[in-house]
């Protein structure tokens, strides 16, 4: 990172996109689909036990986010009430971006990013966003399978993460997708977004979406707490 006077000059890709959403909500599918269209992800995971195509997370970002949450007494499944970045976290973030100074559009995906996003907005004011959400019951079922989380805990996490997504949307007005839709509709909406995201790979083949990995679905809202139900309905209203 070079210096101009006393102010650091940030070295970063020309455009950086954060893919935001709650765990088990389609963030991997969205990120992989955007990668098909030309989004650069750096060194990302291409396989894990719960997603044979990989969660498309760059471990450098995950490690930073885990460290920030831990420094605030929390974790991905125990969100802190307030999150404060320390100076070392800002330097860490700048160094990660400096290692990704490539041509084109660079993106990162980690559900934890929703919990620490204010720090990223300070590091990179030009940061762009695209979000995704999913029916609370589908997320509850998936988290029970992956992490053995109790229903009340999973619903509380769904609400915390998606409330952060909603609040950020109201400030920034970025595209938000719903992962409850069918494959064709989802793919069509991703394709319609790629030009505005600066992704211009011509005649790309969308190969990431895999119906076999989408094992859970949500239907009724009637058994959900009112605040969860209302937040889901608000997100549906603004989704593309």
- For 100-152, the DSSP string reads T--SSEEEEE-GGGGGSHHHHHHH-TT-EEEEEE--HHHHHHHHHHHH---HH
Angle, helices 136-147 vs 151-172, to 10°: value is: 130
CATH number at residue 135: 3.40.50.300
pTM across the whole model: 0.88
Instruction: Decide if pLDDT at 4 tops 50.
Output: no
Q: How many domains does the chain have?
A: 1
Helical spans, DSSP H, in 133-209 = 136-147, 151-172, 183-193
What is the C-alpha to C-alpha distance for residues 133 and 20, in angstroms, rounded to an integer? Answer: 9
Q: Structural domain of residue 204, as residue ranges?
A: 2-238
Q: Rounded mean pLDDT of 2-10?
A: 55
At residue 101 the predicted structure's pLDDT band, cuts being 50, 70 and 90, is confident
Q: Is there a contact between 15 and 107 (Cβ–Cβ < 8 Å)? A: no
What per-residue confidence (pLDDT) applies to 146? 86
Give the distance, in angstroms, between the CA of residue 80 and the centroid of all CA atoms in the same chain: 18
């Amino acid at each position: 990172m070079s210096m101009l006077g006393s102010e650091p000059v940030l070295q970063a890709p020309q455009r950086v996109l954060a893919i935001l959403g709650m765990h088990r909500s389609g963030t991997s599918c969205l990120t992989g689909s955007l990668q098909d269209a030309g989004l650069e992800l750096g060194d990302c995971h291409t396989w894990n036990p719960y997603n044979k195509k990989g969660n498309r997370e760059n471990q450098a970002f995950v490690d930073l986010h885990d460290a920030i949450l831990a420094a605030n007494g929390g974790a991905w499944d125990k969100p802190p009430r307030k999150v404060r970045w320390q100076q070392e976290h800002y330097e860490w973030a700048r160094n990660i971006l400096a290692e990704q100074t490539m041509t084109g559009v660079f993106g990162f995906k980690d559900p934890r990013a929703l919990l620490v996003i204010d720090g990223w907005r300070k590091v990179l004011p030009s940061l762009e966003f695209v979000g995704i959400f999913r029916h609370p019951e589908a997320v509850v079922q998936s988290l029970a399978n992956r992490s053995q989380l109790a229903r009340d805990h999973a619903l509380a996490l769904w609400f915390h993460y998606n409330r952060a997504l909603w609040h950020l949307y109201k400030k920034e007005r970025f595209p938000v997708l719903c992962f409850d839709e069918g494959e064709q509709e989802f793919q069509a909406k991703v394709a319609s977004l790629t030009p505005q995201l600066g992704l211009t790979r011509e005649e790309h083949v969308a190969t990431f979406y895999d119906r076999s990995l989408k094992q859970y679905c949500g239907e009724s809202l009637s058994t959900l707490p009112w605040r969860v139900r209302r937040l889901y309905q608000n997100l549906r209203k603004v989704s593309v």
